[in-house]
Chain A
Amino acid sequence: MDQAEFIALIDKHQGIIHKICRVYRNSKEDREDLFQEIVFQLWKSAPSFEGKSQFSTWMYRVALSTAMASYRKKKPEILYAPSLPNTQTEQPETDEQRERLFAALAQLNDSDKALITLYLEGLSYREIAAITGITETNVGVKLSRIKTKIQQLLNIK
């Protein structure tokens, strides 16, 4: 993969990196650092991408490994915004729901964050198992527990 090809693919899939940074880091500065670390590790690992799987699958593996392995000085603080400024064209209610979702995800441990990220992205249990290295059955068990936890955190019945 040459540099131009790599940049085009990152450009196309950068939303994935943004979301991973959002889940794994609390401050804007830490997210920027992690974003750069992920791009750097992806580029360094690019020769290992053989095109056997989708680029996004390979990207999840490298990006999540980087987020989980890289060192954080302190545990992120969980900040709940009482109200959110309506800066986007979307409904403010949707923005608030999204903020609450990210705040709930931030309270999970690192491995649970990886599993739920892949699930929310729409990957199958089989794909999640292949990326994380745990069995398909175990993915199901863990995800069921994580979903219950998120529902409790969000007060969803």
Chain B
Amino acid sequence: MDTLQSLWQSSEAPQKPTAAIQSMMHEKTHPVLKRIRRQMIFEAIAFTIFLIVYYDFFDGHRRPVFTNILLVAGLLLVIIHNIIGYVLTKSLPMRNTIKQTLEAHVTKIKNFAFVSVLSRILAAACLLLFFTFATTKYWLLAAIIIILIIQIALLSAIWIKRIKQLNDVLSGLD
């Protein structure tokens, strides 16, 4: 083991320049956050365009006012959910030990997973209500509901897998 220890301690990597370290300290250059931000901006633009045109394109004036309000609320919910997700991604709750940090992180992820699935269900329900209110095309309604259920099941499975992965790491520190 002494040989391994000396191999480890003598291991060297090319030093990163000070300027590179300095730029890594900022949110703007963070690779993962940058990707999330890009996706958030894209979705926000797409939803804004949709909200501007939906009233004319999808006959908003012919549908009950409450379905219009719910549609807007549903899309806003998705945007708010994305913002919360972004804020949570960038902050790891640091505690006194690795174990405590990971426990706090798992709790945070579990809460967000619940909010994520719930907001997706609510947003889907709002969209569904707007587009299918008083419809007689039941086969279409059934097809949309099945697709939404599959989407939500997949989203739940992703979260369950992520939480299990973190719990496995934590159990190694018991």
Interface membership of A61, Cβ < 8 A: yes
Interface membership of A79, Cβ < 8 A: no
Cβ–Cβ < 8 Å partners of A32 in chain B: 31
Determine the distance from Cα of A100 to Cα of B97 in the docked complex, in whole angstroms.
30
Partner of A122, one of B3, B5, B26, B172: B5
Interface membership of B30, Cβ < 8 A: yes
Determine the distance from Cα of A43 to Cα of B91 in the docked complex, in whole angstroms.
11
Q: Mark B19-36, 1 if CB is under 8 A from A, else 0.
A: 001101111011110000
A118 CB, nearest partner CB in chain B, Å: 10
Does A109 lie within 8 Å of B18, measured CB to CB?
no
Q: Which A-chain residue is minimally distant from B166 (CB atoms)?
A: A69
Interface membership of A103, Cβ < 8 A: no
A157 CB, nearest partner CB in chain B, Å: 13
Q: Within A114-147, which residues are at the interface with B (CB < 8 Å)?
A: 114, 119-122, 130-134, 147
Does B9 lie within 8 Å of A14, measured CB to CB?
no
Given known A-B contacts A19-B8, A40-B24, A69-B102, A62 and B97 have beta carbons under 8 A apart: no
Does B9 lie within 8 Å of A122, measured CB to CB?
yes
Does B7 lie within 8 Å of A98, measured CB to CB?
yes
Interface size class of B (residues with CB under 8 A): 35 or more
Determine the distance from Cα of A97 to Cα of B11 in the docked complex, in whole angstroms.
11
A interface size (C-beta, 8 A): 52
B107 CB, nearest partner CB in chain A, Å: 12
Interface membership of B105, Cβ < 8 A: yes
B86 CB, nearest partner CB in chain A, Å: 14
Does B11 lie within 8 Å of A98, measured CB to CB?
yes
Does A65 lie within 8 Å of B94, measured CB to CB?
yes
Given known A-B contacts A10-B21, A40-B25, A98-B7, A65 and B101 have beta carbons under 8 A apart: yes
Given known A-B contacts A45-B94, A68-B98, A132-B98, A111 and B173 have beta carbons under 8 A apart: yes
Does B27 lie within 8 Å of A40, measured CB to CB?
yes
Q: Within A1-44, which residues are at the interface with B (CB < 8 Å)?
A: 3, 6-7, 10-11, 14-15, 18-19, 22, 32-33, 35-37, 39-41, 43-44
Q: Within B49-88, which residues are at the interface with A (CB < 8 Å)?
A: none
Does A150 lie within 8 Å of B25, measured CB to CB?
no
Q: Which A-chain residue is minimally distant from B14 (CB atoms)?
A: A18
B113 CB, nearest partner CB in chain A, Å: 13
Interface membership of B15, Cβ < 8 A: yes
Cβ–Cβ < 8 Å partners of B5 in chain A: 119-120, 122
The interface of chain B, by Cβ under 8 A from chain A, is 1, 3-5, 7-13, 15-16, 18, 21-22, 24-27, 29-32, 90-92, 94, 96-102, 105, 162, 166, 168-174
Q: List 25 A–B pairs whose Cβ atoms lie within 8 Å, in order of A's numbering.
A: A6-B25, A14-B15, A15-B11, A32-B31, A44-B91, A61-B101, A64-B98, A65-B101, A69-B105, A94-B10, A110-B169, A111-B172, A120-B9, A121-B8, A122-B5, A131-B97, A132-B98, A132-B173, A133-B99, A133-B173, A134-B99, A134-B173, A134-B174, A150-B4, A154-B4
